[in-house]
Amino acid sequence: MIIWIFYVIVCKKNYLHMKTKLSESLSDKIKVLKNEKKAIILAHYYQIPEIQDLADYVGDSLGLAQNALATKADIIVFAGVHFMAETAKILNPSKKVLIPDLNAGCSLADSCPPEKFRNFKNRHSDHIVISYINCSAKIKTMSDVICTSSNAMKVVNSFSHDQKIIFAPDKNLGAYINTMTGRQMILWNGSCEVHDIIKIESVLKLKSENPDAKLIAHPECKAIILELADYVGSTTGLLNYTMKSNANKFIVATETGIIHQMMKENPNKEFIVVPTDETCSCNDCPYMKMNTMEKLYNCLYNEKPELKLSKSVIEKAKKPILRMLKLSE
Ligand code: 13P
Ligand code: SF4
């Protein structure tokens, strides 16, 4: 029995060693290919650590959009989800935009189908539309201005208090802004399956077990969690907070990917991810995690899958995104 356990441990160790070596060499191959093809890799914080470490830029939705607009590279490889790659294509249409897995969607974007939204908008024709960037390009064409979690407050406050507003598609972010600004924006009933599932019971349990920890949360979480949080912000906002704060322990209510950067920036601090239930402590976005090193290599090598959009969608969707970028300067 002891020999058998020893054998299993040795095999597992060898396997993990092989896996690390394999991803190291893949990482080198991707870097070579990237330089040959004059490509840039943009990655969201929710990507696996290997992809984050390889990327030319890692950031939140706003930072990624700004970088997609500014890049001089011939090819943009977008290690994120579909709506992010769409945004890159809209902002920089002459570039070839590649995405490792075209099926990497977003439950929040999917919760706002364009035809249903068009009818909703028509029923409130005296309202302007502010859309969270986590929506399809078609929804962006129906929007007056886009926002991200890092500039939502600024974008909303750029309108007078009596302006009637539809906020789509995230009801949690919309409700949070309504609370913070005293507005009554009409909210589209959409949510992110990763953040919306985070339970208050889990948060309360972790808070009582770690009274010295700060609770930090992404605004896609439910109001009951945001009310308890010491800090609410975008992924970049959360990361910056952990760097500036004097606290040494953080309860993190968002997707797990950001922990990689938090640990890199704060090697001596402790991060506790809020478990979604008793058996799982992994708030992994299934769409973000569809991207792998192998898919990243293949997409750069084959220059596909390529993200394509019609000229008319690009033209219409660009206006509200540029308006947001102007407001974020
Ligand atoms: P940010 O990184 O802009 O905060 O967005 C989080 C998110 O849910 C991305 O899908
Ligand atoms: Fe969409 Fe949520 Fe995943 Fe972000 S974390 S990509 S909002 S499903």
Residue 66 is encoded by which pair of tokens? 């700004």
Cα within 13 Å of Cα(272), Cβ side:
20
Q: Please, what are the domains in the chain?
A: 2-104+289-302 (3.40.50.10800), 108-188 (3.40.50.10800), 198-282 (3.40.50.10800)
As a whole number of angstroms, the distance between CA 256 and CA 50 comes to: 14
**Dihedral (CA of 16, 17, 23, 26) sign:** negative
CB of 287 closer than 6 angstroms to any ligand 2 atom: yes
CB of 235 closer than 6 angstroms to any ligand 1 atom: yes
324 in Cβ contact with 151 (< 8 Å): yes
Residue 122 is encoded by which pair of tokens? 């028509």
Distance 104 CA to ligand 2 centre (A): 10
**Dihedral (CA of 71, 72, 78, 81) sign:** positive
Burial of 3 (0-12, 13-18, 19+ CB in 10 A): exposed
Closest CA to 41 of 90, 100, 89, 82: 100
Tens of pLDDT along the chain (329 residues)? 444 444 444 444 554 445 555 566 999 999 999 999 999 999 999 999 999 999 999 999 999 999 999 999 999 999 999 999 999 999 999 999 999 999 999 999 999 999 999 999 999 999 999 999 999 999 999 999 999 999 999 999 999 999 999 999 999 999 999 999 999 999 999 999 999 999 999 999 999 999 999 999 999 999 999 999 999 999 999 999 999 999 999 999 999 999 999 999 999 999 999 987 767 656 899 999 999 999 999 999 999 999 999 999 999 999 999 999 999 98
Q: Using CA positions, which residue lies closest to atom 1 of ligand 2?
A: 106
Distance 96 CA to ligand 2 centre (A): 24
Q: Using CA positions, which residue lies closest to atom 1 of ligand 1?
A: 60
Q: How far is CA 143 from CA 132, 175, 181, in A?
A: 10, 19, 21
**CA angle (164, 82, 28) in 5-degree steps:** 140
pLDDT of residue 280: 65
pLDDT in tens, 131-168: 999 999 999 999 999 999 999 999 999 999 999 999 99
pLDDT of residue 277: 73
CB of 84 closer than 6 angstroms to any ligand 2 atom: no
**CA angle (266, 268, 273) in 5-degree steps:** 70
Q: How far is CA 242 from CA 175, 233, 275, in A?
A: 25, 11, 19
Top mutation candidate among 149, 155, 261, 285 for ligand 1, by most atoms within 8 Å of CB: 149
Ligand sitting nearest the alpha carbon of 104: 2
